[in-house]
């Protein structure tokens, strides 16, 4: 089960992903990120505070945007990852390709160029 909340704050968009991202729910995650990209958002934050589990299919969704992020110079950041989820990103090596911040403050601070 997954729940995705979309919230526009100041100059950035926050997508909060809650629950578990498995093979079936990863489709919803992909759709939400796709929409955010298609709407022309240049600053996208993914709130993973309440993300309990992510399967390889879920990781595949993030992975598939890496190229687009780099090409279009999009500020795409994940924050609030639990230790478990962070470890999954780390093992696969995705932490080296995605911008992962500890919390929202850190992410917003980077956006604002602090």
Residues found near other proteins in the complex (CB under 8 A):
23, 26, 30, 52, 55-57, 59-61, 63-64, 66-67, 84, 88, 91-94, 96-97
One-letter-per-residue 3-state SS of 13-32: EEEEEEEEECCCCHHHHHHH
Question: Is residue 109 within 8 Å of 45, Cβ to Cβ?
Answer: no
Closest separation in Å from C-beta 59 to other proteins: 7
d(CA 17, CA 46): 7
d(CA 76, CA 71): 12
Output 91 or 109, the one with its CB closest to other proteins: 91
Closest separation in Å from C-beta 63 to other proteins: 5
Output 15 or 59, the one with its CB closest to other proteins: 59
Closest separation in Å from C-beta 61 to other proteins: 6
Q: Work out the end-to-end distance of the chain between its first and last CA atoms, rounded to an integer number of angstroms.
A: 36
Output 83 or 113, the one with its CB closest to other proteins: 83
Output 5 or 87, the one with its CB closest to other proteins: 87
């Amino acid at each position: 089960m997954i729940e995705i909340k979309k919230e526009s704050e100041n100059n950035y968009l926050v997508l909060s992903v809650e629950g578990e991202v498995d093979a079936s729910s990863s489709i919803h995650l992909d759709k939400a990120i796709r929409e955010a990209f298609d709407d022309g958002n240049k600053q996208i934050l993914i709130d993973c505070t309440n993300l309990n589990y992510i399967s390889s299919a879920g990781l595949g969704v993030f992975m598939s945007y890496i190229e687009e992020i780099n090409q279009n110079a999009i500020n795409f950041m994940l924050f609030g990852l639990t230790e478990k989820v962070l470890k999954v990103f780390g093992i696969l090596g995705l932490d080296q390709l995605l911008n992962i911040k500890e919390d929202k403050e850190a992410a917003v601070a980077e956006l604002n160029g602090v």
